[in-house]
Structure 1
Amino acid sequence: MTDAASKPDLLTQHKISVLLIDDQAMVGEAVRRMLADEEDIDFHFVSDPTKAIPTAEALQPTVILQDLVMPEIDGMTMVRFMRVNSKLKDIPLIVLSTKEEATTKAEAFALGANDYLVKLPDRIELLARIRYHSKGYINLLQRNEAYRQLLESRDELRKELAVAADYVTSLLPAPVREGEVIADWRFIPSASLGGDSFGYHWLDDDHFAMYLLDVCDHGVGSALLSVSAMNVLRSQTLPDTDFLKPEMVLEALNNSFQMEQQNNLYFTMWYGVYCKSERTLTFSSGGHPPALLVSGGTAQQLRTPGMIVGGMPDMTYVSKSVPVEPGARFFLYSDGVYELRKVSDGKMWEFDGFASFMAATEGPLGTPIDQLIEYTRTLQGGEMYEDDFSMVEFVFN
């Protein structure tokens, strides 16, 4: 995203433009001569006060010099008109008067004038005040322009992130409602879109693979990396890799997605294989939060020691196996589901509190995740999560 405020060369360059409103032609000529040798200043003069406002709207000067004593219209009334006009209200206004009167000055300032000069002022003083007020107004114009560009850039970024989030969601597997292993999930992308993705599928008639990864950063780049890793897992295209062995999968991913080749992005990973004939779950993880195997109201944390994926080449990972009871629930998730700040005291929610909450959930497939979403939104005092919310629930029948 381009930060327009940090790149002034991308902003409109405004030339100093002076509009003098005075019914006396001799005053107009005198001021014109004062400014004639200043190449950075454009001078404009209007002697008919009835044409002052439309002329100012058309010219959009960087400073207006206005006489207080004119026929047909009172100078103070003109100041008031200038300040209620949406196109002119911010343009610096210097009133010109033939008298140095405190009460007149006070009234002019109260109505919105920026400065007060007794005409005709000294040339040096007039130039100084024109440049001073014009510089402030030009800075305001450029600041407003930079802000508009920033908003436009953010809108474009939001559109890009929304498209990327839809793309990631389209690649996620469909829920499974029947069979030896059933599954359901919830994916709520954060406003900045993290790098979460997950998947599951049968490797053969007896082995079911499940995995979730979380890229370290946010944005479209992180989402694309996560999709790339998920695609090689789904298509089983990692070279010399036995996908029945989780430690081999993580080692192959680590060597294939080194961070120096991925814009310094890496990811955490949990990969497991369920063997239905033996009712065992074999798994390996790299820097990822422990998965939760819930049975009998107790949540068993499943994690192996292992470094982040992509951090260093030739890393070694290990696997573990655990038995799976019939009807056991299994939760695979990213840290965005529990790393949140409680609105009640501003402290982070403890992982143990999260694990205990999941162990106590019940209901049909998918209901525990919905219960977690409802609880955490109340806990943090809002619906949006700072990081992606990704959780998959499996039930082993």
Structure 2
Amino acid sequence: MKIAVVDDNQTNLMIIEKILRKAGYNRLVLLTSAKELYQCLQLDAVNAEEVQFDLILMDLMMPEIDGMEACRTVLADERYSDLPIIFVTAMGDSNKMAEAMDAGALDYVLKPINKVELLARIRSVLRLKQEKDLRKERDKRLQYELDLAKQVQGSILSDPIEEEDVTISAIYKPSFELAGDLYAWYPISEHRYGVILLDMMGHGISSSLVCMYIYSALKDTITGMSDPEKVMKELNRRMYQLQMPDHLINYYFTAIYLVLDTETQTIEYVNAGHPAGIAIVDDEVKLLTDGCCALGFFEDIDVTKGVIPYKQGARTLLFTDGLSEWLEEDYEDAIARLISTLQEKDMDNPDSFLHQLQPSMEPHAAPKDDLCLVMISTNV
């Protein structure tokens, strides 16, 4: 425990030193001005092992630089923003003391110094500092775990597919470190591909964990069942297993799942309460609206499958509501904007598509909600 005592009066320094040493605080640094304190903190920046204060006891009225200014200066440095400061002062003006506390000090002791009061306030402030240090350490560990979870979450997203007959790619802009959106696609057979985009309720760790739970079932479900009706019913069954009647919050997700068959030239899909996907099929606009309710609400659900045939090619856009809500800030009809952009020639790259939608959006800007879009283009 290292304490800095700052006072321009040598007698006061001697009194405080005696009180502290008798109480067992032996690592003391006695300073006569704020400038000396600044110098010590500069040394701290060079060699943290040499000078590391756990607490500053500082006189409020000092020549050149008073305690108020010194307190603000020290706490303004990010390295010392949590350093506890107690003013030791003869000033009894309540307005001045309120101003001193507003400057960032945690407490104050009036002169002449009452030994019992001084030590009690020191113990109180040091307990607070210990709690802050523990919280910072917990936050540091949590941030490490969040970063790791973010890496894992990013690693499971499907890589782009560029085959002779189909191109599938996506763009993903989470609003938080961990997001509730997820996309995946899998080859089912030589000419068939299963593609899913889902949006879990909420954000953060809990939604991300539920996403990972659903992801663990996706590949086997899609490649094993493939049919959109069966896949959605199976995902609903798995999601419903998580529901707990005694909890106020139950998780659910919206999703849109399609099977593209480039040999029969068909798109079979089910939309489970998700924003309607858009397909440009033989120069005609089709909205992917057939389906069912969001998954996880009910044990049994009725599912309607939509089928879209094509002859000359198809370009399909799947997206989460984060994209349409983002567009609605600047456009009255977000869907019309999406359709007109998708109809433009050579618009089969998600990055180009997003830039064409909103050229002013900064490449690395985080949206207000998770933003995800998947583009599927057939090559006939």
- The residue aligned with 2:375 is 393
Does the C-alpha gap of structure 1 residues 250 and 50 become closer, same or farther in structure 2, counting only changes over 3 Å? closer
Q: Provide, for residues 270-316 of structure 1, a one-character-per-residue CA deviation record: whole Å limited to 9, x for no partner.
A: 11122334322111121111111024665421022421111121122
Tell me, yes or no, if structure 1 residue 365 matches structure 2 residue 348: yes
Please state whether the residue corresponding to 1:91 is helix, strand or coil.
Answer: strand
Tell me, yes or no, if structure 1 residue 91 matches structure 2 residue 86: yes
Please state whether the residue corresponding to 2:257 is helix, strand or coil.
Answer: strand
Does the C-alpha gap of structure 1 residues 176 and 161 become closer, same or farther in structure 2, counting only changes over 3 Å? same
- The residue aligned with 1:251 is 233
Does the C-alpha gap of structure 1 residues 128 and 18 become closer, same or farther in structure 2, counting only changes over 3 Å? farther
One-letter identity of the residue aligned with 2:255: M
Map of 1:293-372 to 2, 5 A cutoff?
A: 293-295=279-281, 298-340=284-326, 350-363=333-346, 365-366=348-349, 368-372=350-354
* Count of paired positions: 340
Q: CA RMSD in A?
A: 5.3
- The residue aligned with 2:187 is 202
- The residue aligned with 1:4 is none
Map of 1:1-397 to 2, 5 A cutoff?
A: 23=11, 76=63, 83=70, 86=74, 90-95=85-90, 134=121, 142=128, 146=132, 156-236=141-221, 242-244=225-227, 246-258=228-240, 259-260=242-243, 264-295=250-281, 298-340=284-326, 350-363=333-346, 365-366=348-349, 368-373=350-355, 375-376=357-358, 378=360, 383-396=365-378, 397=380
Does the C-alpha gap of structure 1 residues 78 and 205 become closer, same or farther in structure 2, counting only changes over 3 Å? closer
Q: Distance in 1 between matches of 2:109 and 2:218?
A: 74
Contact 2:291 2:305 in 1 (8 A): no
Does the C-alpha gap of structure 1 residues 18 and 369 become closer, same or farther in structure 2, counting only changes over 3 Å? closer
Q: Distance in 1 between matches of 2:109 and 2:206?
A: 56
Does the C-alpha gap of structure 1 residues 380 and 264 become closer, same or farther in structure 2, counting only changes over 3 Å? farther
**Structure 1 residues not aligned, in runs of 5+:** 1-11, 33-40, 69-74
Does the C-alpha gap of structure 1 residues 380 and 79 become closer, same or farther in structure 2, counting only changes over 3 Å? closer
**Structure 2 residues not aligned, in runs of 5+:** 38-50, 75-79
Does the C-alpha gap of structure 1 residues 60 and 210 become closer, same or farther in structure 2, counting only changes over 3 Å? closer
Contact 1:193 1:388 in 2 (8 A): no
> Which range is displaced more, 347-356 or 215-224?
347-356
Does the C-alpha gap of structure 1 residues 365 and 94 become closer, same or farther in structure 2, counting only changes over 3 Å? same
Shift of 1:23: 3.6
What TM-score, normalized by structure 2, do the two folds share?
Answer: 0.66
Q: Distance in 2 between matches of 1:352 and 1:237?
A: 29
Higher Cα radius of gyration: 1
- The residue aligned with 1:71 is none
Does the C-alpha gap of structure 1 residues 393 and 82 become closer, same or farther in structure 2, counting only changes over 3 Å? closer
What TM-score, normalized by structure 1, do the two folds share?
Answer: 0.64
Q: Distance in 2 between matches of 1:175 and 1:43?
A: 63
Q: Distance in 2 between matches of 1:24 and 1:227?
A: 62
Does the C-alpha gap of structure 1 residues 141 and 201 become closer, same or farther in structure 2, counting only changes over 3 Å? same
Shift of 1:329: 0.6
- The residue aligned with 2:46 is none
